[in-house]
């Protein structure tokens, strides 16, 4: 069998190392500033604003606890990214061999950190258009990072499947799921902020504004389901955190607006959206279990590098599987099932 050559025109390892370290530092600094301002300088003012600029589709107080999970998950995948600077494989430093996450990927995360800090320096007033503009930059940037990760991981999946399966799964389950959770939650927060901006800066009033917010969340769910099920299924197959995150966010809106003796139409709408997101989640999980290449295994593959190959050690069969549209990580003993 012939071997194919990975594209080795990548940024130097030291460039990756610098941006990975800066990404870790930006995460630490953004968490420090936001935590400090939430609990200190802006604690009373932000609480007052949240009540004065609230709509039916506002998040309940307990929703702020979600940021604990987001912060921990983001820090864990960044620590994994830092570990790739210290580890080496047959091609060199893991951080750029192969280059799944280029410097642009980490530059985008650094940008997100600056935006989060800027939000709190500007007061994080949900009634202001600038607050919505900054908040919307966060999920957009996180989705750009997801796109980079999906595309590059798919490009290098055959080599990783044969020679570094652990890194493949770390990227799928740790990095991509963490970014998807972060993007989903920040998108939900941005839509709630958009509702307050519309309510206090335009002629639209509640409950119409809250209906618009919930409809935008519904559109986000439908678009994501369409992408992951029909358009980019092979790239997004192992991302599972979007629906649980959205369900939690919708649950926060539901508990904030729920009144036993007077259930508003938007509360019912929110409850229906929670059930819809749950249904999509179930459909997605069943679909993943039914794919014909659902049994990936690396134990039977030879991961030892060939001595006569310096730039790549992936096999032709892996490349052919990828070109034919099959998922590159396939155990040959199940390929005929």
pLDDT at 335: 41
* pLDDT above 90: residue 105: yes
Closest CA to 327 of 269, 299, 288: 288
3-state secondary structure of 256: helix
Q: What percent of the chain has pLDDT over 90?
A: 66
Give 11-20 pLDDT, tens digit per residue: 789 999 999 9
Position of tokens 């594209």?
7
pLDDT range class, residue 33, cuts 50, 70, 90: confident
Mean pLDDT confidence for 285-313: 54
- Reference 184, options 270, 247, 245; nearest CA is 245
Q: How many angstroms separate the CA atoms of 257 and 260, rounded?
A: 10
For 65-101, b/e burial (b = at least 16 CB within 10 A) is ebbebbbebbeebbeebeebbeeebbbebbbbbbbbb
pLDDT in tens, 35-77: 765 554 444 434 444 455 788 999 999 999 999 999 999 999 9
More confident call, 293 vs 290: 290
pLDDT in tens, 225-252: 999 999 999 999 999 999 999 999 999 9
Per-residue model confidence (pLDDT) at position 315: 41
d(CA 250, CA 57): 9
How confident is the model over 287-308, as a mean pLDDT?
54
Instruction: Give the mean pLDDT of the chain.
Output: 83
**Structural domain boundaries of the chain?**
13-292
- The secondary structure of residue 89, as a DSSP letter, is E
Alpha-carbon gap, residue 282 to 286, rounded angstroms: 6
8 Å CB contact between 20 and 85? yes
- The answer to whether the CB of 161 falls within 8 A of the CB of 302 is no
Percentages helix, strand, coil for the chain (3-state, rounded to 5) are 70, 0, 30
Supply 134's token pair.
């900054």
Find the helix or strand (DSSP H, E) in which 208 lies.
Answer: helix 208-226
Residue 38: per-residue pLDDT: 53
Assign 160 a pLDDT band (cuts: 50, 70, 90).
Answer: very high
Give 117 or 311, the one with higher predicted confidence: 117
Res 313: pLDDT: 36
CA distance 50 to 37: 15
Tokens representing residue 174 in the block: 């740790």
Closest-CA residue to 185 (of 173, 177, 174): 177
What is the pTM (predicted TM-score) of this model? Answer: 0.83
Up-side HSE of residue 33: CA atoms within 13 Å toward CB?
A: 18
Whether the predicted pLDDT of 302 surpasses 60:
no
Phi/psi at 192 (5° precision): -65, -40
């Amino acid at each position: 069998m012939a071997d194919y050559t990975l594209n080795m025109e990548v940024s130097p390892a030291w460039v990756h190392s610098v941006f990975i370290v800066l990404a870790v530092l930006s995460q630490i600094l953004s968490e420090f500033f936001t935590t400090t301002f939430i609990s200190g300088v802006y604690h009373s003012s932000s609480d007052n604003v949240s009540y004065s600029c609230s709509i039916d589709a506002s998040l309940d107080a307990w929703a702020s606890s979600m940021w604990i999970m987001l912060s921990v998950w983001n820090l864990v995948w960044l620590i994994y990214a830092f570990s790739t600077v210290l580890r080496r494989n047959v091609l060199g430093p893991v951080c750029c061999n192969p280059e799944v996450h280029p410097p642009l990927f980490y530059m985008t995360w650094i940008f997100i950190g600056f935006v989060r800090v800027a939000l709190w320096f500007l007061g994080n007033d949900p009634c202001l258009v600038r607050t919505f503009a900054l908040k919307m930059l966060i999920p957009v940037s996180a989705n750009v990072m997801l796109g980079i990760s999906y595309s590059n991981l798919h490009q290098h999946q055959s080599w990783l499947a044969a020679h570094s399966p652990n890194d493949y799964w770390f990227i799928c389950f740790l990095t991509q799921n963490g970014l998807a959770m972060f993007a989903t939650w920040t998108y939900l927060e941005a839509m709630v902020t958009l509702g307050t901006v519309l309510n206090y800066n335009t002629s639209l009033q509640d409950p119409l504004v809250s209906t618009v917010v919930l409809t935008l969340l519904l559109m986000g769910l439908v678009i994501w389901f369409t992408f992951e099920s029909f358009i980019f299924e092979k790239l997004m197959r192992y991302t599972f955190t979007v629906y649980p995150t959205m369900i939690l966010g919708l649950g926060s809106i539901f508990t904030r607006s729920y009144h036993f003796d007077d259930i508003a139409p938007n509360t019912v709408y929110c409850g229906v959206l929670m059930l819809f997101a749950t249904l999509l989640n179930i459909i997605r999980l069943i679909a993943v279990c039914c794919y014909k290449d659902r049994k990936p295994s690396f134990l039977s593959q030879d991961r030892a590098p060939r001595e006569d190959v310096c730039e790549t050690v992936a096999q032709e069969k892996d490349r052919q599987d990828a070109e034919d549209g099959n998922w590159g990580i396939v155990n040959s003993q199940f390929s005929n099932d």
